[in-house]
Every structure is written in structure tokens, then in C-alpha cells.
């Protein structure tokens, strides 16, 4: 007897709705109730699910479906914590988990409690039918991803490294469906940019605010901020980005197909980028073609009538594969060549990470996607932000971001809801992701 997918969808909606109601905003996190909530479903099926507490109220969940052939595991990963929400600016309460017009609303529906539910339900379906995988399938829900993963994946690697060994990881960051030409193009996140957060401190002459002078550190800093915010670093091609851009271009008719490929041409890249109508796609393409520099935090003065002697600002710099922090510092110093009396320090850094797109898991994801959506095409992509996948890639594990969603023609609207207002996900996307993962796991691990 086959699976009743409508009942599966109802179950997934209910689990996600109740999961959203558990407030795991980070900071402070408090993921422990979320971990216990997920554990309860696994225990009902007789699965050995462990909750590992890295700090008071910071919970991580580990559950393994044992394999028969002693193969290295495949890990299904998601993070329990979510970013803060400005409730007064949402159309519907951000922790309601409400189902409205076929969409589940709430913080985490896209990033990334929905992925946790998709992985959980697929895992439960396999357990209920007595599936015996050849390799271990691990369900892993972690804390603290939104502030760097120190008490989640980072802590698990330090304290329980034996649980983290795997050949493959499926995580967040990909699977977005885009209606392009006659095809539905889905992204598989095979790479992500690294970070190099900078702090620039400016010095000047202190004094009374009623007496202007030419050595005001705040004025110097403001000019530096303006210069950095308007700066665009040079084009830097990577294998993942080339495959992504060419993959989209191939689905366009001429001359649009030709023009899109010119994004990879240093002479025409910027002018072509400006003409892309979808703001979401335009922003993403601009960010994966070069290192980016965005001023974010400013600290200056304590009293209106006092000119301070020192002020500072921070820059969120995202770096491409092959770029080192010292290269970034040199680039900023060259940009600010005329500026004096400032210091620059690196606050935090982690390298970009990348996994190959030519192995058995990638091919199986592609094959299963094609079976469920004959119009589909899967292409690798680079995420502009960072995920917990980087911890695994550093150890040599192949990690992909893949949560397939019903294709959209408005990428900008979808991307704007991640960490933004009115975050929500369609019930159809929830079902689509669950079914695809279930079928892929059965084929790949069976």
C-alpha cells in the first residue's frame, strides 16, 4: 500500500506549526525545548534520540538509523535557533505557526525549521516502514547557528567528534526553485562565502561641539564609510559561480542567454548586472561574483556637544574561495589610500568552503528531482552567507544545501522574507521537499 501524501502533508504542517510556536530566538537561543519537541516524535517510533546540552538551555539532538554495511553516515542537518523578529511589523504574529491561504507563517518557516520538519518526517516515514539502510542516516538538530555555531555544531565537533563523522551532509542554503524559460531551475548549495569582519578605528582632535575644526574623527570616518559602501571589488570567477550563471543562461533565448554569460566578463559584468529585472537575483549574482564590503556597526561619541577623539565602524566582508584575510586588509588600505590616523583589525574570520558537484549524492538528488519534476534542472550555487556546512567541509565531508521548494517567478520576494518580515512557506513546498528527500534517501541509502 502506497503512502498517503495528503496525510503526510497534514502531519508536516502540524509539526512545523507547533515547532514555530517554540520561541528559539538567538540570542539568547534556548533551543532545548525545541530539541525535546523533536525528540518526542523520534522516541514514539522507538528511535534512540539523544539530547546533548552544550550550555544551560542550549540543546542539540542526535538520532541515528543504523546501517547494515558499515558505510560512513549521511547526516540530515538543520538548526533549531532562529533570528529575532519585529512582531509589530508582521502581518501575522511571528511565533503563531498559523496556516493561512496554504502557507505556514512564522519565524523559522524558511530559515530553517521547515527543513528540520522535512528531514524529520522523511526520517519517520522510513522508520515506520521498517527501512534498513546500507549506511547510517543521522538526524541532527543543532543550536546556535545564527550566531556562529559555537554551542551547536562547533561544540559537537569538540566534545562528540565520533558523532560527527560522515561522508555526506544535507543542510540548508539551497533548493530554491526558479521558473526560468521552459524549465524549473533548482539550486544546490555546494559552496558558501567566508567572512572577514573588520573594525576600523579613526582618531582626531577632541573638542567642544560648538567650535568646528578640520580634524574631526567622525567626519573622517563618515567619508571612509561612504567610500567603502560605494566600492565594488573586482570580478573573481569561481567554478561554482560559472556553473550557476551558465546553467541559468542556457535556459534563456538569444540574446538574453549571451548577455547573462557576460556576467563572467570583467568588461561587461557590471552593466549586465544592472539590467537584471529581478532584484533578488541581481543582488545574489553581484555578491557571488566578488568580495563584498558592507559597513554595519558605528560607534562614535557619547555627548552631543563633545567632539570625540576616537570613533570606529565595522565592516561585514564576505570573501570568495581562495581569498585570505590579509588580502582583504590590503584591498581596504589601498581603497582608503588618502586616509590617515586609523587602525584596522580583523574581528572574526572563516574561510569560504566548497564541495564538489560530481559525486553519487549530487547525481541522486538530481535524478530524484527529475522524477518528481520532469521540467527540473539542478545547478550548483554559492551561498552569500555562512552555514554550519563549513564545519563539515573543513573535515573533508561533502555538504550540500538542499531544500527543494515549489518554483517561484519572484525570487526577490522569497529572499526578502529570510531574516525579514512575514516569513512563511507554502504547504506544497513542505510536502514537495519531504517527498523528494524520502525518495532520495530510499534510493541512495537502500
Q: Quickly list H helices, 65-133.
A: 113-128
pLDDT tens per residue across span 275-297: 988 888 888 899 999 999 999 99
The domain spanning residue 406 has which CATH number?
Answer: 3.40.630.10
The arithmetic mean of pLDDT across residues 405-422, rounded, is 87
pLDDT for residue 409: 74
Residues above pLDDT 70, as percent of the chain: 100
Please report the beta strands in 262-320, taking only residues with DSSP state E, as ranges in sequence order: 292-300, 306-307, 310-319
- Pair 317, 363 in one domain: no
Grid coordinates representing 27 are 540570542
Examine the fold and report which residue of 350, 376, 396 is the final residue of a domain before the chain moves on.
Answer: 350
Whether the CB-CB separation of 16 and 103 falls below 8 Å is answered with: no
- Pair 385, 399 in one domain: yes
- Pair 9, 156 in one domain: yes
pLDDT for residue 161: 98
Examine the fold and report which residue of 350, 382, 412 is the final residue of a domain before the chain moves on.
Answer: 350
- Pair 17, 136 in one domain: yes
The domain spanning residue 239 has which CATH number?
Answer: 3.30.70.360
Among 61-65, 119-123, 280-284, 376-380, name the one with the lowest average pLDDT: 280-284
Which of 184, 176, 189, 185 lies closest to 429, judged by CA? 176
Cβ contacts of 282-288, under 8 Å, gap ≥ 24: 283/412, 283/415, 284/384, 284/411, 284/415, 285/245, 287/193, 287/318, 287/384, 288/193, 288/238, 288/240, 288/241, 288/244, 288/320, 288/381, 288/382, 288/384
pTM: 0.93
pLDDT for residue 305: 98
**Which residue, chain included where needed, has cell 567541509?**
393
Which of 392, 420, 376 lies closest to 170, judged by CA? 392
Res. 233: pLDDT tops 80: yes
CA–CA separation, 203 and 216 (whole Å): 8
CA–CA separation, 251 and 377 (whole Å): 10
- Pair 67, 160 in one domain: yes
Bridge partners of residue 300, in order along the sequence: 311
Cα-based angle 63, 66, 72 (whole degrees, multiple of 5): 95
pLDDT tens per residue across span 318-368: 999 999 999 999 999 999 998 988 999 999 999 999 999 999 999 999 999
pLDDT for residue 411: 78
> Based on the number of CB atoms within 10 Å of its own CB, is 222 exposed (0-12), middle (13-18) or buried (19 or more)?
middle
Q: What is the rounded average pLDDT for all residues in the chain?
A: 96
pLDDT tens per residue across span 239-263: 999 999 999 999 999 999 999 999 9
User: pLDDT-based confidence at 1, cuts 50/70/90?
Assistant: low
- Pair 150, 212 in one domain: no
Total domains in the chain come to: 2
pLDDT for residue 278: 82
User: pLDDT-based confidence at 147, cuts 50/70/90?
Assistant: very high
Res. 187: pLDDT tops 70: yes
CA–CA separation, 42 and 62 (whole Å): 10
CA–CA separation, 380 and 327 (whole Å): 27
Whether the CB-CB separation of 6 and 428 falls below 8 Å is answered with: no
**Which residue, chain included where needed, has cell 513542505?**
430
pLDDT for residue 48: 96
- Pair 211, 251 in one domain: yes
- Pair 245, 220 in one domain: yes
**Which residue, chain included where needed, has cell 585570505?**
324
**Which residue, chain included where needed, has cell 517527498?**
435
Whether the CB-CB separation of 132 and 12 falls below 8 Å is answered with: no
- Pair 184, 203 in one domain: no
Bridge partners of residue 168, in order along the sequence: 74, 398
- Pair 375, 398 in one domain: yes
The arithmetic mean of pLDDT across residues 367-393, rounded, is 96
- Pair 150, 240 in one domain: no
CA–CA separation, 340 and 329 (whole Å): 15
The arithmetic mean of pLDDT across residues 106-113, rounded, is 97
CA–CA separation, 326 and 333 (whole Å): 11
- Pair 100, 216 in one domain: no
Q: Which domain holds residue 103?
A: 5-188+353-445
Examine the fold and report which residue of 324, 350, 376 is the final residue of a domain before the chain moves on.
Answer: 350
Res. 304: pLDDT tops 90: yes
Amino acid at each position: 500500500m502506497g503512502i498517503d501524501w495528503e496525510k503526510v502533508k497534514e502531519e508536516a504542517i502540524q509539526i512545523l506549526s507547533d515547532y514555530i510556536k517554540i520561541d528559539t530566538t538567538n540570542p539568547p537561543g534556548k533551543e532545548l525545548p525545541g530539541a525535546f519537541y523533536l525528540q518526542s516524535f523520534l522516541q514514539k517510533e522507538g528511535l534512540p534520540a539523544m539530547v546533548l546540552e552544550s550550555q544551560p538551555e542550549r540543546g542539540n539532538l542526535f538520532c541515528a538509523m543504523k546501517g547494515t554495511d558499515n558505510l560512513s553516515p549521511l547526516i540530515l542537518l538543520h538548526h533549531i535557533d532562529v533570528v529575532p523578529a519585529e512582531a509589530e511589523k508582521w502581518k501575522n504574529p511571528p511565533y503563531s505557526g498559523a496556516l493561512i491561504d496554504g502557507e505556514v507563517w512564522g519565524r523559522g518557516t524558511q530559515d530553517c525549521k521547515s527543513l528540520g520538519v522535512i528531514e524529520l518526517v522523511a526520517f519517520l516515514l522510513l522508520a515506520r516502514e521498517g527501512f534498513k539502510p546500507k549506511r547510517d542516516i543521522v538526524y541532527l538538530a543543532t543550536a546556535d547557528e545564527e550566531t556562529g555555531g559555537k554551542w551547536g555544531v562547533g561544540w559537537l565537533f569538540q566534545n562528540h567528534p565520533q558523532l560527527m563523522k560522515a561522508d555526506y551532509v544535507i543542510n540548508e542554503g539551497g533548493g530554491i526553485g526558479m521558473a526560468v524559460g521552459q524549465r524549473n531551475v533548482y539550486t544546490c548549495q555546494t559552496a558558501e562565502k567566508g567572512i572577514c569582519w573588520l573594525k576600523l578605528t579613526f582618531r582626531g582632535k577632541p573638542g567642544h561641539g560648538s567650535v568646528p575644526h578640520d580634524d574631526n574623527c567622525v567626519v573622517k570616518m563618515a567619508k571612509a564609510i561612504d567610500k567603502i559602501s560605494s566600492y565594488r571589488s573586482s570580478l573573481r570567477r569561481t567554478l561554482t559561480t560559472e556553473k550557476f550563471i551558465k546553467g541559468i543562461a542556457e535556459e534563456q533565448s538569444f540574446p538574453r542567454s549571451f548577455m547573462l554569460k557576460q556576467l563572467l566578463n570583467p568588461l561587461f559584468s557590471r552593466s549586465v548586472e544592472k539590467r537584471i529585472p529581478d532584484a533578488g537575483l541581481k543582488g545574489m549574482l553581484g555578491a557571488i561574483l566578488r568580495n563584498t564590503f558592507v559597513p554595519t556597526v558605528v560607534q562614535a561619541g557619547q555627548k552631543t556637544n563633545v567632539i570625540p577623539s576616537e570613533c570606529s565602524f565595522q565592516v561585514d566582508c564576505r570573501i570568495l574561495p581562495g581569498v585570505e584575510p590579509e588580502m582583504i586588509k590590503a584591498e581596504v588600505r589601498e581603497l582608503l589610500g588618502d586616509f590617515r590616523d586609523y587602525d584596522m583589525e580583523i574581528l572574526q574570520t572563516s574561510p569560504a568552503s566548497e564541495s564538489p558537484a560530481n559525486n553519487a549524492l549530487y547525481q541522486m538528488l538530481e535524478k530524484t528531482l527529475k522524477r518528481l519534476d520532469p521540467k527540473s534542472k539542478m545547478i550548483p550555487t554559492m551561498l552569500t552567507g555562512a552555514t554550519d556546512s563549513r564545519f563539515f567541509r573543513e573535515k573533508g565531508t561533502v555538504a550540500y544545501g538542499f531544500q527543494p521548494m515549489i518554483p517561484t517567478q519572484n525570487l526577490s520576494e522569497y529572499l526578502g522574507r529570510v531574516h525579514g518580515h512575514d516569513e512563511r512557506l507554502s504547504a506544497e513546498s513542505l510536502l514537495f521537499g519531504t517527498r523528494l528527500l524520502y525518495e532520495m534517501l530510499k534510493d541512495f541509502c537502500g
